[in-house]
Structure formats: structure tokens, C-alpha cells
């Protein structure tokens, strides 16, 4: 069944799974937050003439089931998408997926916790109040884990809408938790103080993580995906492009240029005046393309970029390398063309490319990249400093 | 064969007097001045069994149970 679906999914519906995964992930965190809030309302025992206590419990239970449903969709579409190799085992067993292992692992951990809470709740009358309650406390843990999972493995993290949703959910859950701690009858005051301090520490850590991790460019390279897989994904993007322009199979024929980019042309017509004088820092956008491997496995990856405030001057990086049998790529050299500047790539580290260029004044360019694996779109920043500076 | 018959039982140690049960099932439950449930009547009539079950399921402390009446 899956095999029959796979080619169609890849050709037509591949994107649909991808959109579903992201959307259901965001909906899940909203539902999880709402579920926790209503759980708190129910356990605090707040009630009014218009809102009897059993309503909190009913809504809490129904929301939690809805949440689990969405998490199910999230998980199944992630696996079915097949763009990155995530298997059904990765869903249950944390930290073993090759793609962003830590953050996907947190997702798996969260899923396990949710399942535990679900099962113990269904068997509540059999396992007794004490054990049910203990497992139910874990549901609180689920929330920060889910949040970090979303921040770290979600590709939509920097979108204002997603940040907005996460901020609102966080504020709501924190307010609810504070209320719970203030009214908690069953915990001693020291325990509640410890929980409050712990919450503040955890939330500060998560906020710091978000600001310095996924919200900075180049996260896809820093999030623990193995270099081989990243290159494989990049090759996939390049491969699909190449097959649309050359009707041969990916392994055949060494095409040296892709129609999308003509590295040499930009240099001749480039308006040198638009190239900023070092030192400067500027955002860049662009696209990545790749030639199919030739007979000896040689490939060429072209990053065609433009500075946002100097749109007329292309910044082109051509990386050459060889493709191993395993699908990984080892890059051996690279050239940079930027207006009148010419030079070599001297360092390649995750999403950071360092290049020495000259016009003929020596200048160091540091390009921080984030390559969208779906569209091959590049976003990032480029920093130029005079001289062959270190760093 | 007769249908199974049930009555409601409160575990007074587990019950925290939160009163969810009486909200849900006032037909047979009311609350004493401290909020603890008082059960009215013995056997739960057939027509009310569904409501009684809902009350037991929603008791946050699992203190309210339906038990079978023998014979
Ligand atoms: S719902 Fe349960 S805990 Fe609350 S008063 Fe009724 S029996 Fe007691």
C-alpha cells in the first residue's frame, strides 16, 4: 500500500504531506496548550454558575483526544512525506533519526509521554488514582518538550505567525501554571517554590535557545543533521531541477552549467559601484542549483545570490566536489564571483562559507547561509571585512 | 436473566469533596455542608445508569464507583 502510494506522493502529493505535517504540528501545540489549561482549570476546581466543574473535565478530555488525533496526523504525514528518512521506529524511539536527531527525538519523547498519559487515563479505574496521577503529571513535562521540538525541528520557526502562536500559547500555559501553583492544595510550599523557579529557568533556557538557535540563519546546518544527509537533500533538490532541464537520468552526462545560473555572465556585466565597500553586513537571498554527477562522480553546486540592498550585483559561489557511492558529497574547492571581486572559498563549516576575494584589494567575505531544502531558496547574511582577516 | 443492578459507593478517604459528582448526578447525589456527597437511595434505576456512570467517570479522585448488587 505504502509502496504503491510512494511514487504518486513523491510526484504529486509530496508537498501535501509536507504542508500537513507542518500545519498539524502547529495545531497540535495549540491544542496541547488548551488541553493543559483546561486540565488546570479542572484541577484547581474553578467553577461559576455558567461553567460547572464537570464541563472543564469534559472539555479537557475531548480537547486532549483531538490533540492526540492531530499529533497522529502530524506523525503519519511526517513519515509518509519521505523527503527526509524518518521511519515509524523513529516516532517511538527518540534520538535515532538522522535528520535533526535531538529535536525529532524530543518529538518522539513527547509522543511517548502523550501515549502514556492516554493509556493510563483510559485505564484509570484499573491502575488506581496514585499511578494515574503520577503519569498525568508527566503531561506538564510534555509541553516544554513539544515546544522545543517545534522550535528546533520546525522549518517554520522564524515565521512571525508561528512565533506569535508560540508566544500566546506560552503565555497562556505559564499563566495557568502560576495559577495552579498558587492554588495547589496538595503540594507543600517548598515544592511549589521549586516548581516555580524550575519553570522560570526552563522558560528562560527555551527563550535563549530560540533566539540563538533556530531564529538565527544556518539552523539547518547546526541542528545536528549529518553532513552527508544535508548534501543528499541538496542533491535531491539539484537532481529534480536537473532532470527538468535535461531529460536524461541523474547519473548520466556531465552538464557543466545549469540554465538557472551563469556564473561568468554576472561578472562581466556587474555594476561594480553597487558592490558595497568593506566593512559591510548585508542580507542575501538566492537559489541553489546542482549539476548531476558526471562519470567520475564530480558535481558542481552553484549558489546564486543577490544582496538585498544591491540587487543588481550577483554574488555567485560555485562549489566543486565529488559524490561518494553512499550519496554524500565531499566538496573540494569553490570560487566566488562578486562584482569586481574574484576569489576562493577558504573555509566551509556548516552553513558558513568563508572566502578570500580581491578587487584587487584583499577582502574577506563570510557568508552565513540557510538553504530551504524544499525550494532550494537561500537566505542568509554576508559580511565583508577588509584584508585577509581571521575568523 | 435479570439485568445487572448497581448502586453508588463513595470512598470517603479518596473523596476530596470537590462535588463534581453532585453537579453531574443530582438525581441521587447531594452535598453535605462540607461538600462531601450524600447518596440518596440504594439501587440506581435503569434509566439513570448512564448518568450515574458519567458521574463516576468524571470523579477526579476516582472516589465514586458503581458496584454490582449481588443477586
Ligand atoms: S466527584 Fe468524587 S471526589 Fe468529588 S465529591 Fe464526588 S465523589 Fe468526592
Residue A351 pLDDT more than 80?
A: no
What is the DSSP track for A130-194? Answer: HHHHHHHHHHHHHHHHHHHHHHHH-TTTTSHHHHHHHHHHHHHHHHHHHHHHHH-SSS-HHHHHH
Beta bridge partners of A353: A348, A367
| pTM beyond 0.90 | no
HSE-CB of A171 using CA atoms within 13 angstroms? 6
- Which tens digit of pLDDT belongs to each residue from A12-38? 455 778 788 888 889 999 999 999 999
Show which of residues 7-36 on chain B sit within 8 Å of chain A, judged by CB atoms: 14, 18-20, 23-24
Q: How far apart are CA A5 and CA B63, in angstroms?
A: 50
Q: What are phi and psi of A72, to 5 degrees?
A: -60, -45
Whole-number Å distance between alpha carbons of B32 and B19: 10
With a 6 A CB cut-off, is B17 part of the ligand 1 pocket? yes
DSSP A326-339: TS-EEEEEEEEEET
Whether the predicted pLDDT of A246 surpasses 60 = no
Question: How far apart are alpha carbons B23 and B51 in whole angstroms?
Answer: 11
pLDDT at position A67: 93
Q: For residues A194-214, give the mean pLDDT.
A: 83
Contact B14 A132 (CB under 8 A): no
What was the pLDDT predicted at A154?
A: 74
pLDDT exceeds cutoff 50 at A132 = yes
The pLDDT score that the predictor gives to residue A34 is 93
CB contact under 8 A, A54 and B58: yes
Number of CB pairs < 8 Å for A and B?
A: 24
Q: Give alpha helix (H) positions in A45-128.
A: 53-81, 88-92, 101-122, 124-127
Q: What ipTM was reported for this prediction?
A: 0.72
Q: How many angstroms separate the Cα of A200 from the Cα of each of A144, A153, A164, A178?
A: 12, 23, 20, 11
> Binning pLDDT at 50, 70 and 90, where does residue A181 land?
confident
- What is the atom index within ligand 1 of the atom nearest the CA of B14? 3
DSSP class of residue A13? I
Q: Which domains are seen in chain B, by residue range?
A: 5-69 (3.30.70.20)
**With 70 as the cut, is the pLDDT of residue A6 above it?**
no
Interface of A with B in 82-141 (CB under 8 A): 124-125, 128-129, 132
Per-domain residue ranges of chain A: 3-222, 227-386
Amino acid at each position: 500500500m505504502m509502496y504503491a502510494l510512494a511514487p504518486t506522493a513523491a510526484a504529486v502529493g509530496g508537498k501535501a504531506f509536507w504542508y500537513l505535517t507542518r500545519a498539524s504540528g502547529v495545531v497540535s501545540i495549540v491544542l496541547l496548550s488548551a488541553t493543559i489549561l483546561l486540565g488546570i482549570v479542572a484541577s484547581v476546581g474553578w467553577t461559576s454558575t455558567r461553567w460547572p466543574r464537570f464541563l472543564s473535565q469534559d472539555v479537557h478530555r475531548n480537547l486532549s483526544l483531538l490533540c492526540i488525533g492531530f499529533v497522529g496526523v502530524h506523525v503519519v504525514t511526517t513519515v509518509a512525506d519521505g523527503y527526509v528518512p524518518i521511519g515509524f521506529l523513529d516516532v517511538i524511539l527518540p534520538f535515532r533519526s538522522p535528520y535533526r536527531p535531538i529535536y525529532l527525538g524530543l518529538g518522539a519523547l513527547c509522543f511517548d509521554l502523550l501515549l502514556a498519559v492516554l493509556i493510563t487515563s483510559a485505564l484509570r479505574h484499573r491502575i488506581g488514582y496514585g499511578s494515574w496521577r503520577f503519569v498525568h503529571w508527566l503531561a506538564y513535562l510534555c509541553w516544554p518538550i513539544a515546544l522545543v521540538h517545534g522550535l528546533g525541528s520546525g522549518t517554520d520557526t522564524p515565521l512571525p505567525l508561528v512565533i506569535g502562536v508560540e508566544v500566546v500559547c506560552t503565555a497562556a500555559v505559564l499563566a495557568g501554571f502560576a495559577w495552579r501553583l498558587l492554588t495547589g492544595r496538595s503540594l507543600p510550599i517548598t515544592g511549589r517554590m521549586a516548581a516555580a523557579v524550575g519553570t522560570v529557568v526552563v522558560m528562560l533556557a527555551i527563550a535563549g535557545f530560540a533566539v540563538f538557535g533556530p531564529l538565527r540563519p544556518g539552523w539547518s546546518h547546526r541542528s545536528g543533521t549529518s553532513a552527508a544527509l544535508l548534501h543528499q537533500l541538496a542533491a535531491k533538490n539539484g537532481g529534480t531541477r536537473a532532470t527538468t532541464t535535461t531529460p536524461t537520468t541523474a547519473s548520466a552526462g556531465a552538464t557543466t552549467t545549469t540554465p538557472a545560473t551563469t556564473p561568468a555572465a554576472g561578472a562581466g556585466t556587474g555594476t561594480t559601484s553597487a558592490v558595497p565597500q568593506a566593512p559591510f553586513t548585508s542580507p542575501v537571498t538566492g537559489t541553489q542549483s546542482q549539476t548531476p554527477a558526471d562519470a567520475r562522480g564530480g558535481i558542481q553546486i552553484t549558489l546564486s545570490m543577490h544582496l538585498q540592498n544591491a540587487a543588481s550585483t550577483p554574488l555567485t559561489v560555485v562549489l566543486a566536489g565529488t559524490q561518494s557511492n553512499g550519496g554524500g558529497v565531499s566538496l573540494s574547492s569553490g570560487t566566488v564571483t562578486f562584482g569586481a571581486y574574484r576569489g576562493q572559498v577558504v573555509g566551509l563549516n556548516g552553513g558558513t562559507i568563508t572566502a578570500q576575494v580581491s578587487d584587487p584589494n584583499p577582502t574577506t567575505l563570510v557568508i552565513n547561509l540557510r538553504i530551504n531544502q524544499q525550494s532550494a531558496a537561500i537566505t542568509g547574511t554576508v559580511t565583508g571585512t577588509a584584508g585577509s582577516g581571521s575568523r | 436473566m435479570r439485568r445487572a443492578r448497581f448502586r453508588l459507593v463513595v470512598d470517603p478517604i479518596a473523596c476530596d469533596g470537590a462535588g463534581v459528582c453532585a453537579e453531574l448526578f443530582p438525581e441521587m447525589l447531594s452535598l453535605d455542608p462540607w461538600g462531601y456527597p450524600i447518596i440518596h437511595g440504594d439501587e440506581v434505576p435503569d434509566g439513570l445508569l448512564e448518568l450515574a456512570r458519567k458521574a463516576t467517570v468524571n470523579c477526579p479522585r476516582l472516589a465514586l464507583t458503581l458496584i454490582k448488587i449481588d443477586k
